[in-house]
Structures are given as C-alpha cells and as structure tokens.
Amino acid sequence: MQIVRPLRPDLEPAASQYWFERIDVESHRDFRPVVTVPRPSDRRLGDLADRFDRLLQLPLTGSVLASSMPTLARGLADPSRLLDDWSFYIRPELVADPDLFFERPPEGLVPARGRVGYTTFRPRGGHVEDYWFASPFEPVNPRMRSAYSQRDRNRHAHLRLWRHGDRARPVAVCFHGMMMGHKTLNTELFNVRWLYERGMDVALFDLPHHGFRSGPIHGLGFPNLDIGSLAENWAHAVYDFRVFLDWLFAQGAPEVGVMGVSLGGYMTSLVAALEEDLAFAVPIIPATSLGDCAVDWVPARQLLGLMFARLGWTLDDMRAHTAVHTPLQSEVRLPLDKLMIIAADHDHVTPPHQSRLLWEHWGGPEVHWYAGSHAIHVHRGTYLRQLGRFLGGLGMFDG
C-alpha cells in the first residue's frame, strides 16, 4: 500500500522543520543488515523467529485497536473536531523546541517506598525496593486534560530499584516494551542480575498504562491511534522519568544511564534528545517512527488506511502530527561514545530500517546487529558481550 504523498497544504508552513523532510524514509525501508549466521540450526531458528514476529503483529495491533475504538468512533462521527484537537501537536514552536512540549516537573518531589513481593532476583547483601509517587503531570494540550484526568491508575509513577547499598554506584534505568509491563518478565529480559553483579544498580521504570499503572492488560491505552493521547502519554512518561532521575541523583547516584527494548527503545532514544546528563543511552530493537512501524504490521496497515481515508491524511500527515515526540525530530544531546544501538536483522515489529533511521539521525554511533527477530534473539550472548564491553568502557562496571 503506497500512502506516502506530499503533505496537505495546511501543513506546508512547518514542513521544513520536520524530520522526514531531512531524511529520505523510503530509501531506508528495504534496508537489511548483513549478519553472519554460522550454523544450519541457527538458520532454522531464524526462520522460526521470523514467523513468530509476524504472528506477534496480531496481538499488538489488537491492543492498539482496542485502545483506539473511542477515537475511531469520534473520527467517524466528526473528523473535523478530531483534527482540531490534534492540530495542537503541529504548532511550529513545539515541533522546533522539544523543551516547550516536555515540561520539567517541580523540584523536590520525593517518591514513597513500597514493599516488594515476589521477585526472581533478591540480591544477597543488597536491596530491592519499589518506589512510587502520584504524578502531578497535566496534559500540555488543554483539550486533553478532562479525559486524561479520568485515568487514575495511570497517574501513579512506579520504579523498581535494585541497590547494592554499600556505596553510590552508577544506575541503569530500563524501559520495557509494548504490553511488557510485568516486573518478573522484565527482570529477566534486562538481565538485572547480570548488570547488578557487574557493579551497577538497576531500575525498572513503568511506562504509562503498563506495570503497576495498568489494568489487567498491560499496554491497553498506550500506544494507540489517538494522536493527542499518544503525545500526552509520552510527555507524561518523560515527566515522571525526570522526577525519578532527579531523585536518583539526589540519592547520590554518580551516573544514570538508560536502555530500553522496542517501545522502551523509543523512550530511550527520546530522553537522549532531552537529557544531556545521562551517562549512556542504549536503545534495543527500537521503534523510532511509530507511524512507519504501523504500516509494516499487516493488520495495522489496513486499519491506518481506513483512518487516513476518513481524515484525508497521508503517512506524512501522521509523521507530522507525531513529530513532537519522535526521537528523529530533535538532536541527540549525548556524544557518540555514550550511544549504542542494538537491533535485529529479521525484526518484523520494529524493522531494521527503524534502527537505521536512528543511526543516521544520530550521526553514526556504534551499532550491533544480532541474528534473530524482535521476539527471538538467536545470539543473545553475543550482544550481551558487546553491551558489556560498551558499558565497561564507560566505567559503569567494577574492575
């Protein structure tokens, strides 16, 4: 389905500010990295991983669709009002300066400590603790405030922190992927024990509508096709992360870095464009343009086509309306030696061109391509060694 056409005339005044005017997106779409797969068994596992990724698109699209039903209904009934609400996010000043959209929280917010129940890793001689606070975040767009205020559970920011407790140590804050808010799963996914045993303190941060901020289904509500809700959830995520970041520094952390998987890779890349004090940023199989991701998901592509037809949109319109929070819009604030991208050669959820776009936008930082897909990492040990070498080279590890 070809839906890449020029912007509507009413978007032209701000067009020169948009990332997709500077980067030829379509030239990257068929990009495939060269990754050596040494054994026939690895090739078979790679084929399985490929098929599993394509199946994974179905529940992800289902979550997006379920979260988007009220917006789709409004769009069918009155598309002009929906477009009026969303026009806030293409204001030139917001697109040009991310600090105007991503507001900083007030100083002095102190998270409360909670008791940790079950966890797969409870360090001997260290501590694992939960921290939370009732977020005072308010949507940037006044039209979004009434609806957003009804999501009480989502207003409680949450962080799980593993600390050695003997002295101040570097902290790795980890951002999970879409529908992946379970702490037990993320403890293993991010190799918390592995990072901890090498001398780092480790934190798991809950993105909006995930983890302790969610209902029974993690991720139901974020992301979705409501451009306003999507943008405000990103603003909310950054706001709450900044509270925890300030608090970690106030607690004595000498350095704080970030890493994230998939949707968490988007968050990682986003805060790297907002926070110059981070020690490192490692997006793993990251999403970087959500609209371009969605058109690669077979069910979502048809859904977007219907939405675009009703609104009179093209893919560039969606890129423009999400530019205010895409990591491809703003310059990264960290030097190249503090950046690393990890991506998969057969990823069908956040395809290789997503990482390639970020790599080009960032100016060519270190990148490691592993054999496998979004869900199945054939040579996970290889990229863990590369990650360990990278973090060790920055002085994050003991010895």
Give yes or no for a cis peptide into 223 (omega within 30° of 0): yes
Check which CATH number belongs to the domain holding 262 and give it.
3.40.50.1820
At 237, give phi and psi (nearest 5°): -60, -45
Considering the domain boundaries, does residue 107 fall inside one?
A: yes
User: C-alpha angle with apex 146: 65 to 289, nearest 5 degrees?
Assistant: 40
Considering the domain boundaries, does residue 28 fall inside one?
A: no
Considering the domain boundaries, does residue 196 fall inside one?
A: yes
Considering the domain boundaries, does residue 19 fall inside one?
A: no
CA distance 265 to 279: 16
List, in sequence order, every residue forming a beta bridge with 344; answer none if it has no partner. Answer: 370
Considering the domain boundaries, does residue 265 fall inside one?
A: yes
Question: Mind listing the pLDDT tens digit of every residue in the chain (399 residues)?
Answer: 333 333 443 444 444 589 999 988 988 888 888 765 555 556 666 667 777 788 888 888 888 878 878 777 777 678 888 898 899 999 999 999 999 999 999 998 999 999 898 999 999 999 999 999 999 999 999 988 887 777 778 999 999 999 998 999 999 999 999 989 899 999 999 999 999 999 999 999 999 999 999 877 787 889 988 999 999 999 999 999 999 999 999 999 999 999 999 999 999 999 999 999 999 999 999 999 999 988 888 777 787 888 888 889 999 999 999 999 999 999 999 999 999 999 998 898 999 999 999 999 999 999 999 888 888 776 677 888 999 999 999 999 996
Considering the domain boundaries, does residue 100 fall inside one?
A: yes
> What residue has token string 């997106």?
25
pTM for this entry:
0.92
pLDDT tens, 180-205?
989 999 999 999 999 999 999 999 99
Considering the domain boundaries, does residue 173 fall inside one?
A: yes
For the beta carbon of residue 39, count every other beta carbon within 10 angstroms: 9
Considering the domain boundaries, does residue 42 fall inside one?
A: no
Residue ranges making up the domain that contains 197: 49-393
Number of domains in the chain: 1
